[in-house]
Amino acid sequence: MSGSFADRLSADCPAAGLRAALQNRTARVGVIGLGYVGLPLLDAFVNAGFKTIGFDTDRAKVDALLDGRSYIKHVPGAKIARWLREDAFEPTDDFDRLAEPDVLLICVPTPLTDARDPDLSYVEGSARAIAKALRPGQLVALESTTYPGTTRDVLLPILAESGLTAGDDYFLAYSPEREDPGNPDYTAAGIPKVVGGLDELSGELACLLYESAVVRVIPVGSPEVAEACKILENTYRAVNIALVNELKVLLDRMHVDVWEVIDAAKTKPFGFQAFYPGPGLGGHCIPIDPFYLTWLARRQGLNTRFIELAGEVNTSMPEYVVGKVVTALNDATKPVRGSKICVLGLAYKKNVDDHRESPSFELLHRLDELGAELSYHDPHVPRMPRGKRNYPDPPELVSESLTPEFLAGQDCVLIATDHAAVDYETVVRHAPLVVDTRGATRGLESLGTVVKA
């Protein structure tokens, strides 16, 4: 890739120096945002031999990393301690140091507002901080998931306040993060990377950077293509999950096991990919990205009815699940008010500690409003997180041990996340009632009272 533009670079131009530093891996890589995207990305670049510096506004995160402690399960503290020991990584909350790295990768959150419009405040804040320190020869790449046009229409004008020119003085690209927390088969370094540069030279330099650290780079013609690629990936998942969620509700009414149906369908060797129902969508991407697309469509005077319908189906699932709990308790001659209900799983997916946008919080909120006495168990989330958007802070709960005595003392155990570490046979044997949203108790129904939701 690098040979395609080497001949047209003069020795003293900013691109030439950056290109050389990327090739010999003396370039320092800076990552803004040390969360579920930023830390795994740092791992890829440290393993590739780059020196790195991590920026975050959260001083508690920086202090934890300086102590060699991790707050993300799949990036263990021992690994961070090794980075520090080998002088390969330095965390800081001093954004005045943004001129030091040769590369700046923006990995900050892109949530939704209360009106479900894109909230780019973290991206804009990062861009303003970069603009104050931007120097010739730096490469800036946005990785945060966003709508097509963000790099060109939002990031570029802010960076222009530096007085530098993109494509000549500094270089700008978009490369969407691709993370699958909890999947050991796909680390950040093992997932192909889509890269779209603002101009040809920016794209080629960004590809040169990423091909040093990831398994494969896929260059595309513009940032907009790369941005739309990420939106398509997650909207595809959201729509298909909505399909099986809607099918689950229908088949439940017909007393047909949706899990058995999916198992049968996925035996077809072509034309079908299995998606699975649940209590709602979680994680930072799938519950949010389709709304970025519908917002963009409205700005273009269009409606994305198919995508909006999928969003309605997925956001209705917690209400459906709570309804199943209410009915199941009623069948046991118990009201929800005063019933002891343990929500099993706070993480949005199994075997991870990531609880961003987890439907479990909506379930807890709804059950709390109905007067239930709540507890939870999650082997990966030992203490109830606080400060969740859109929810009042819950009680100071800690993860309960699923002993036979604890289970027997509950009126209902609601399985919201199917962590592999849980002994579901013990749960079904000892809990008076189990409501299962994940198919975790399949084959165990004869051991106790199980309601599928």
**Which range of residues forms the domain containing residue 340?**
237-452
Domain count for the chain:
2
Q: From the candidates 229, 285, 342, 412, which is the catalytic residue?
A: 285
Which of 193, 221, 249 is the last residue in one of the domains?
221
Confidence of residue 284 (pLDDT cuts 50, 70, 90): confident
By the 8 A CB rule, do 399 and 382 touch? yes
Instruction: Report the chain's mean pLDDT, rounded to a whole number.
Output: 93
Domain CATH code at residue 266: 3.40.50.720
Q: Which residues pair with 106 in a beta bridge?
A: 32, 142
pLDDT tens per residue across span 185-223: 888 899 999 999 999 999 999 999 999 999 999 999 999
Identify whether 264 is part of a domain: yes
Identify whether 157 is part of a domain: yes
Q: What angle do CA 349, 111, 395 make, to 5 degrees?
A: 60
Task: Give the pTM.
Answer: 0.90
Same domain, 209 and 321: no
Same domain, 330 and 213: no
Same domain, 171 and 30: yes
How many other β-carbons are positioned within 10 Å of the β-carbon of residue 249? 16
By the 8 A CB rule, do 413 and 433 touch? yes
By the 8 A CB rule, do 150 and 227 touch? yes
Same domain, 436 and 341: yes
Residue 98 in tokens? 């943004």
DSSP string across 272-338: -------SS--SSSTTTHHHHHHHHHHHTT---HHHHHHHHHHHHHHHHHHHHHHHHHHHTT--STT
Same domain, 116 and 36: yes
Mean pLDDT, residues 366-395 taken together: 86
Same domain, 198 and 252: no
Q: How far apart are CA 127 and CA 105, in angstroms?
A: 11
DSSP string across 195-214: EEESSHHHHHHHHHHHHTTS
Identify whether 229 is part of a domain: no
Q: Active-site residue 107, yes or no?
A: no
Q: How far apart are CA 125 and CA 371, in angstroms?
A: 41
- Tell me, rounded to whole angstroms, the distance of Cα 412 from its chain centroid: 30
Same domain, 252 and 387: yes
Confidence of residue 289 (pLDDT cuts 50, 70, 90): confident
Which of 221, 252, 278 is the last residue in one of the domains?
221
Q: Which residues neighbour 89 within 8 Å (Cβ) at sequence distance 6 or greater?
A: 42, 46, 51, 52, 53, 54, 65, 80, 83
pLDDT tens per residue across span 112-142: 887 778 899 999 999 999 999 999 999 999 9
Same domain, 209 and 341: no
Residue 5 has pLDDT above 60, yes or no: no
**φ/ψ of residue 98, rounded to 5:** -65, -15
pLDDT tens per residue across span 66-118: 999 999 988 999 999 999 999 999 999 999 999 999 999 999 999 888 777 88
**φ/ψ of residue 111, rounded to 5:** -80, -170
pLDDT tens per residue across span 328-358: 999 999 999 999 999 999 999 999 999 988 9
